[in-house]
Amino acid sequence: MVDAAHPAPLREPLQGTTPPPVVKPAFSWAWLGVTPFFLFALLFLILPTLYLVVGAFMDTQGNFTLDNIVNLFQPTILRAYWISIQVSAASAILGALFGFFLAYAVTLGGLPSWMRSFVMTFSGVASNFAGIPLAFAFLATLGRTGLVTALLIYFFDFNIYGSGFNLLSFWGLTLTYLYFQIPLMVLILAPALDGLKKEWREASEILGASSWQYWRYVALPVLWPAILGTTLLLFANAFGAVATAYALTGSSLNIVTILLFAQIRGDVLHDQHLGYALALGMILITGITNGTYIWLRARSERWLR
């Protein structure tokens, strides 16, 4: 207790005190590590995209025009866009379906750990295997004189081309795209499946929910943004593929990437600025799908943290 006769002296506030000096952070040399990334993005993504956008609104004399945009509505070009959208949608949906079950099998299916390592390693390689090598591999396997075609004829007297199959067709190109679409789905969806908390499954079982009810009311609603977003990413991935389609089908399948190549580099359909307009249309479509994928991925990550 404080003695009433001798009260404690009051402390006067400090006068003239100055705040501690603000130390400015020194320059971080870590920026040098990301400099090559920004440099490559500028040289091979941003500047070429701007060049295409500007070229889409110019004629051969360098004057501003909207004729290239108007010419995009020609029946041939609209049909090329529609076929490309169909091929991309078919390969994306099938790739997402088969990729989901494959990712589930190696993450939550109880398979040996070495199986997951093998599948993930193969998926990392196969998702980047495209272009002319992939087209040659399918021609050597499922072409008219391919290995699998010859084996089916030799052992089972069954000719897949006699039954209506054609590798140089819509479904043939879709099947080829699935080679890199399914592994890409596995690589992206496996972390999302790993993010499902065991507590959610245990809580649903305690409350008497069946396995179907758990997936219907808990797991799939959480995974749905990731599944839908990855499907859109697969769509954009297939929509922009050109080397595989060109090496496999040539000009037998009128898709927009082959038409774009013919307008810019071809000898007959050479209209460079119309090709730029075609590229601009592709940029808009892939930009919308990638933007939606990023938004859906952000929504799914809120639940899987």
pLDDT tens per residue, range 42-64? 999 899 999 989 999 998 888 99
Cβ proximity of 230 and 295 under 8 Å: no
Q: What is the CATH number of the domain that holds 194?
A: 1.10.3720.10
Max Cα-Cα span within the chain: 117
Q: Are 82 and 259 in contact (CB under 8 A)?
A: no
The single residue listed with the structure tokens 């609209």 is: 78
Residue 13 inside a domain? The answer is no
Position 47 in a domain? no
Length of the chain in terms of residues written? 305
Residue 120 lies in a domain: yes
Q: Decide if 123 is inside a domain.
A: yes
Residue 168 has what pLDDT? 87
- Please name the amino acid found at residue 243: A
Residue 63 lies in a domain: no
In this predicted structure, what is the pLDDT of residue 86?
Answer: 95
Return the pLDDT at 250. 78
Any domain includes 111: yes
Q: Is residue 43 part of a domain?
A: no
What is the C-alpha separation between 198 and 101, in angstroms, rounded? 19
- Give the range of the structural domain holding residue 249, as residue numbers without chain letter: 72-304
- Count of domains forming the chain: 1
* pLDDT one digit per residue (tens) for the chain, 305 residues: 545 555 555 555 555 566 666 666 667 788 888 899 999 999 998 999 999 899 999 988 889 999 999 999 999 999 999 999 999 999 999 999 999 999 999 999 888 989 999 999 999 999 988 888 999 999 999 999 899 999 999 999 999 998 888 998 899 999 999 999 999 999 999 999 998 888 988 899 898 889 899 999 989 988 998 899 999 999 999 998 888 888 888 777 889 988 888 887 765 567 788 889 999 999 999 999 988 988 888 877 776 66
Q: Which of 100, 294, 118, 115 is nearest to 215 (CA)?
A: 100
Concatenate the DSSP letters of all residues of 105-151 into one string. HHHTS---HHHHHHHHHHHHHHTT--SHHHHHHHHHHHSTT-HHHHH
Asked if 204 and 218 count as a contact pair (C-beta separation under 8 A), the reply is yes
- Measured CA to CA, the distance from residue 165 to residue 142 in angstroms comes to 10
